[in-house]
Chains A and B, each alone.
Chain A
Amino acid sequence: KNQVEQSPQSLIILEGKNCTLQCNYTVSPFSNLRWYKQDTGRGPVSLTIMTFSENTKSNGRYTATLDADTKQSSLHITASQLSDSASYICVVSESNTDKLIFGTGTRLQVFP
């Protein structure tokens, strides 16, 4: 069964610190992996999209990595800000059906 598992489920950090969120997936074959940020009560907003041939992609303070061999991805947030408080969702695209398989997200809280 195609699945996307994220860890940790929730994370609390202090403003200015770095953090790394994990995503493991069993989707195969897959065509791309995305990270979305979802603020409370809002819709998801795309942070990065990586194809299976890409290892890393950055978007400002967000850096995503992908290891297609081990089926793992991570999202690293540098110098966290209060506005980073949100759920971060890993989404994997299944090649055969083009369906997007969503993880349940990591809820990040940044405190001053």
Chain B
Amino acid sequence: NAGVMQNPRHLVRRRGQEARLRCSPMKGHSHVYWYRQLPEEGLKFMVYLQKENIIDESGMPKERFSAEFPKEGPSILRIQQVVRGDSAAYFCASSPYGLAGRTGELFFGEGSRLTVL
């Protein structure tokens, strides 16, 4: 049973370009969470999705950032017109059921490290 798969592991973009980060949850998991980790800082919640639904996007910047989790395929975190401040590690986590904060385990991927030049 493969774990949470994220790709690419490393991504370099120039200012103004678009970054797409992909996350395939563990088999049987339909709940996906995205977190951002800046150097020397803790993980910050961005968005929580179920298949075809955004449940909580309170941690997402209002502009340039979007996320989806289609019926088929991986979850995508999309950052348009990237700026240097977007440079960070982006972690995806999945759980087999909702309310992971209360009830259950959260399994993390290895992260995607975005560098904006």
Contact = CB atoms under 8 A, between A and B. Distances in A.
Interface of A: 4, 31-32, 41-46, 49, 89, 93-95, 97-100, 102-105
A46 B42 CA distance: 15
Interface stretch (B11-19, B64-72, B76-84, B105-113): B105-113
Given A42-B110, A43-B111, A44-B108, A31 B43 contact: no
Contact of B43 (A42, A44, A94): A44
5 contacts: A32-B102, A99-B45, A100-B100, A102-B43, A103-B42
Chain B binding surface SS class = mixed
Contacts of B93: 43
Contacts of B40: 104
Interface in B34-72: 35, 40-45, 56
B44 A100 contact: no
A100 B41 contact: no
Contact of A105 (B35, B42, B44, B56): B42
Contacts of A105: 42
A104 B45 contact: no
Given A44-B108, A46-B106, A97 B101 contact: yes
Contacts of B42: 4, 89, 102-105
Q: Which 3 residue pairs of A and B lie closest in terms of their CB atoms, listed nearest first?
A: A98-B101, A43-B108, A102-B42
A104 B43 CA distance: 7
Nearest to B98: A98
A32 B105 CA distance: 11
Interface string B90-106: 01010000011110011
Given A41-B111, A43-B93, A43-B108, 7 more contacts: A4-B42, A32-B101, A43-B111, A93-B101, A97-B101, A99-B45, A99-B101
